[in-house]
Each structure stands twice: as structure tokens, then as C-alpha cells.
């Protein structure tokens, strides 16, 4: 109870700074604005941006973002597919020889709850068809969940509410490489990190899972980048 009161008091104090920031902006010629609704959680995060020192971005997010940007440059120099998802998958096909180096972390990645991509009316992110196909393929490859019924999946790591939005998603059997499947999943982590709103202050299942997804994805990218540099060095 005391903790709840502290949180509310902190939010109230930060709300004052947010309002003062808006008032200052208006006085500088920005003009008046219509009322904006903010949940207590959102207010906490907005207040971080109002403070002079700014927010503290989780370091795992930053490491992953930089690693992906580096890989992005590499596959742009090697692939010419029109759509980025196809560039990513085709580049995965191209570096299939690196599979054994990343396989343990790939297995750990698909042991987690499925990676969402599109927000359902319930608020849960349901997977895109390609992501669902890639996930099922890798789970069956690792014998994590053999003979999965894509329309009636009961994977132990997925919450019932996640399965409820995932099972109706139509998906075809994966027809590309293992690395293509893995990079499609890591690419979805990248998309989710860049697009949409975030809950940087959230705790509990969602925050822990998101942290683990980003952490594993970064480790996978780091291995891929290291192996690519090592291979190029040997061939020159």
C-alpha cells in the first residue's frame, strides 16, 4: 500500500513538471493544445523525457539496435530483393553455413513465447504468418514441440490469451533455410523495438520476456557479425 502511494505521489509530481513543460512551450509561441489523456504508467515515462537528464534507455536495447544496423548494412550490400523481409530471409539463406554457431541461442529464442507483430483488438500482439511459420519450423527442428497443429497450438511457454490470437493466424510450412527462419524472427524483434509504443518501465512477464528476446537476438547478431568478419578475413 505504501509503495502504491509512493508511485502515485511520484506520478503527481511528474505530472506537474509535464504541465509546466507544456505551459512553457505555449508561452514560447507553440500555442495551446487540447487535453491529452495519460495513464499513470505513461505519465511516469513521459516525465523522464521532461527531466533535464533525460531517460535512461536500457543498454540491451541499444546494443541490439546498433548490431542490427550493422547487419542491415551488410545485407543491403549483398541482397537486392524488393522487400526488406525477403532481403533478410535471403541473406539468412546465404549465411546458412553459420547455423551451428548460433543454433543454441536459436533454440533458446523459440523456447520463449511466440513473437508478436500485429496488435489484436485485445491488445495482444499476434504473430505475422511468416513469423509463425518460422517459429513452428524451428521448434520442430529442435524437437521442442513435434507435430505442431498450427491451428491448435498449446505450446507451454505461450499464455492462453496469446494462443487465442495466434491459432487463427493462417501460415504455410516454412520453405527456406534455418538461418532464414532465425533472421526472420530476429528481424521481427527489431521491428517491434523500433515501431509502436514501448513500456520501458514495465515489470513482470512482459518486460522479462522482452528483455530476453532482445538479449538473445543481440547475442545471435554478435555471433553472426563475428563469423562474417572472420570468414571474410580468411578469404582475402
Residue 176: which region, alpha, beta or left (left: phi > 0; alpha: psi -120 to 50)?
beta
Percent of the chain whose predicted confidence (pLDDT) is above 70: 73
Over range 41-51, report the average pLDDT.
71
What whole-number distance in Å separates Cα of residue 127 and Cα of residue 74?
26
Q: Give 91-103 pLDDT, tens digit per residue.
A: 999 999 999 999 9
Q: Tell whether 17 and 84 lie within a shared domain.
A: no
Mean pLDDT of 76-98: 96
pLDDT at 17: 53
**Same-domain check for residues 81 and 30:** no
Q: What are phi and psi of 182, to 5 degrees?
A: -65, -45
Per residue, the 3-state secondary structure of 2-33, as one string, reads: HHHHHHHHHHHHHHHHHHHHHHHHHHHHHCCC
Residues 39 and 68 in one domain: no
46 and 80, same domain (yes or no): no
For residues 161 and 124, the answer to whether their CB atoms sit within 8 Å is: yes
Domain co-membership, 170 together with 120: yes
* Distance of alpha carbon 127 from alpha carbon 171, whole angstroms: 10
Residues 78 and 44 both lie in one domain: no
Give the mean pLDDT of 34-50. 75
106 and 6 in one domain? no
pLDDT digits (tens, 9 = 90+) for 158-211: 888 888 888 899 889 999 999 999 999 999 999 988 766 555 555 555 667 888
Q: Tell whether 43 and 91 lie within a shared domain.
A: no
Q: What's the whole-model pTM score?
A: 0.77
User: Which residue range(s) make up the domain with 17?
Assistant: 2-50
Say what the pLDDT of residue 189 is: 95
Are 44 and 94 in a shared domain?
A: no
Strand-pair partners of 119: 125
Amino acid at each position: 500500500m505504501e509503495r502504491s502511494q509512493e508511485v502515485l505521489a511520484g506520478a503527481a509530481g511528474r505530472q506537474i513538471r509535464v504541465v509546466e513543460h507544456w505551459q512553457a512551450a505555449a508561452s514560447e509561441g507553440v500555442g495551446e493544445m487540447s487535453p491529452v489523456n495519460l495513464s499513470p504508467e505513461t505519465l511516469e515515462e513521459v516525465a523522464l523525457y521532461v527531466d533535464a537528464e533525460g531517460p535512461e534507455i536500457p543498454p540491451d536495447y541499444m546494443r541490439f539496435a546498433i548490431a542490427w544496423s550493422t547487419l542491415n548494412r551488410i545485407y543491403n550490400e549483398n541482397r537486392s530483393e524488393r522487400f526488406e523481409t525477403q532481403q533478410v530471409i535471403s541473406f539468412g539463406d546465404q549465411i546458412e553455413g553459420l547455423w551451428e554457431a548460433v543454433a543454441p541461442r536459436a533454440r533458446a529464442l523459440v523456447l520463449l513465447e511466440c513473437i508478436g507483430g500485429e496488435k489484436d483488438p485485445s491488445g495482444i500482439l499476434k504473430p505475422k504468418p511468416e513469423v509463425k511459420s518460422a517459429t513452428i519450423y524451428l521448434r520442430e527442428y529442435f524437437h521442442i514441440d513435434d507435430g505442431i497443429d498450427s491451428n491448435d497450438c498449446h505450446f507451454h511457454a505461450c499464455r492462453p490469451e496469446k494462443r487465442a490470437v495466434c491459432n487463427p493466424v493462417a501460415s504455410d510450412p516454412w520453405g527456406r533455410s534455418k538461418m532464414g527462419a532465425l533472421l526472420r524472427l530476429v528481424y521481427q524483434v527489431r521491428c517491434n523495438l523500433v515501431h509502436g509504443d514501448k513500456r520501458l518501465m514495465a515489470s513482470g512477464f512482459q518486460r522479462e520476456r522482452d528483455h530476453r528476446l532482445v538479449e538473445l537476438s543481440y547475442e545471435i547478431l554478435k555471433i553472426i557479425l563475428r563469423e562474417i568478419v572472420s570468414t571474410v578475413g580468411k578469404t582475402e
